[in-house]
Structure 1
Amino acid sequence: MFSTATSNLQVSSLTQVITHALLSKWGYDAFYSHTKSVSEFYGQKRDIFEAAMKRHLEGLAEWQRPEAGMFFWFKLLVPDSKASANTDAAGASEPDSKALIEGAAYANGVLALPGTVFLPNGGKSGYVRASFSLLTEEQVEEALKRLGRTIREQQGDTQA
């Protein structure tokens, strides 16, 4: 019972000790400055990723720019004939990203996660999660270019 309470109801004691030591050494102002610079760094990486998404995935996916975190979630707009379809609560059909992301995209050098891996029941999802935290600007450009080409190929676009 005690270990469950420690895990579920409060931050780990080790994390608290480390945070206290850091704040004691740096002080609030230095900690705030560091946090702000890290936030700005990842904000720039997010903006680079989104600019490349606009160049390569416009009309192929839809997304909202994240305000926090290190991932973009986006919904693939692939036709039902090229992917398994999922019917939502309103009866609308939604393509499943799993086959495209784990198959053709991976074979074309794109590493992302289909949304289904985040569902507790493993259901279908048209969503994809991609990290922008580790890639250089050149790697982002190449990855999203490849993903866009892969989606167009799956749609049967011979211009891909």
Structure 2
Amino acid sequence: MPASKVFEGTVDTHLFEGDIGVSPLVQLFTAIATTLLNAWGYDGFAAHTERVAEFYREKRDIFENAMKKHLKGLAEWVTPEAGMFFWFKLVLSDKDALSSSTDEGDSKAIIENRAFNRGVLALPGTAFLPNGRKTAYVRAAFSLTPEEDVDIALGRLREAILDAKEESKKGN
């Protein structure tokens, strides 16, 4: 069914505004940022930035401590220096050092089925790959999750990984 002329005109207008002019949302956010920076000055902005960095540092450390508690030997990671996400690789295969296999496993089924069914919200790394290839990597947000929920979620993720490993052993 072809689009109506009214709909086409509306889409054309919005596309034109986006291509030719600055989006009203961008204008609004620019005005807000300018107002804040004028009120804070450089020192106020620097202090705010440090408070935000400390907030994320504390959240990151809480998350990493829970990872050490629940995922030691089941995941590998590098402590993030910035941001609000933890990227980690699930250790899914029990291959020995002499194995020539490069298959690291796939986090997708574990995250989307086993972990999600246990109330754990994370994203399999494949969601961030342009070709959707499998990967053992997982991305989890730590910035807004309360400390007690982090511990519970990573404990549940541990259960999901161990269940998948056990099922894999039975299948082999």
TM bin, normalised by shorter chain, reads 0.7 to 0.9
Q: Residue type matched to 1:25 in 2?
A: A
Where does the alignment leave 5 or more consecutive residues of structure 2 unmatched? 1-15, 168-172
Q: Which stretch of the first structure deviates more once superposed, 51-60 or 118-127?
A: 118-127
Residue 67 of structure 1: aligned partner: 81
- Percent of residue pairs bearing the same amino acid type: 55
Identify if the C-alpha distance between structure 1 residues 5 and 42 changes in structure 2 by more than 3 Å, giving closer, same or farther: farther
Give SS of 2:104's match. strand
Is the 1:57–1:144 Cα contact (8 Å) retained in structure 2?
yes
CA distance 1:76–1:5, shift in 2 (3 Å): farther
Counterpart position of 2:143: 133
- 1:5, distance to aligned residue in structure 2 (A): 8.3
**Corresponding residue of 2:6:** none
CA distance in 2, matches of 1:106, 1:80: 24
C-alpha deviations, 1:65-108, integer Å up to 9, x for none? 00011000000111289xxxxxxxx9711211000100111111
- Is 1:57–2:79 an aligned residue pair? no
CA distance in 1, matches of 2:161, 2:124: 14
* Residue correspondences, number: 145
Q: Which amino acid aligns with 2:122?
A: A
What residue is the counterpart of 2:48 in the other structure? Answer: 34
1:39 and 1:138 mapped to 2: Cα distance? 21
Say whether residues 1:18 and 2:32 are aligned partners.
yes
User: What's the TM-score, normalizing by structure 2?
Assistant: 0.76
1:147 aligned counterpart, secondary structure: helix
Could you tell me whether the CA contact under 8 Å between 1:80 and 1:94 is conserved in 2?
Answer: no
Aligned with 2:161: secondary structure?
helix
Distance 2:21 2:74 in 1: 45
Root mean square deviation of aligned Cα: 2.4
Structure number, greater radius of gyration? 2
TM-score (norm 1): 0.81
d(CA) in 1 for partners of 2:137 and 2:19?
A: 33
1:2-35 Cα offsets, whole Å, 9 max, x none, are: 945878xxxx444333222111111111111111
| Corresponding position of 1:106 | 116
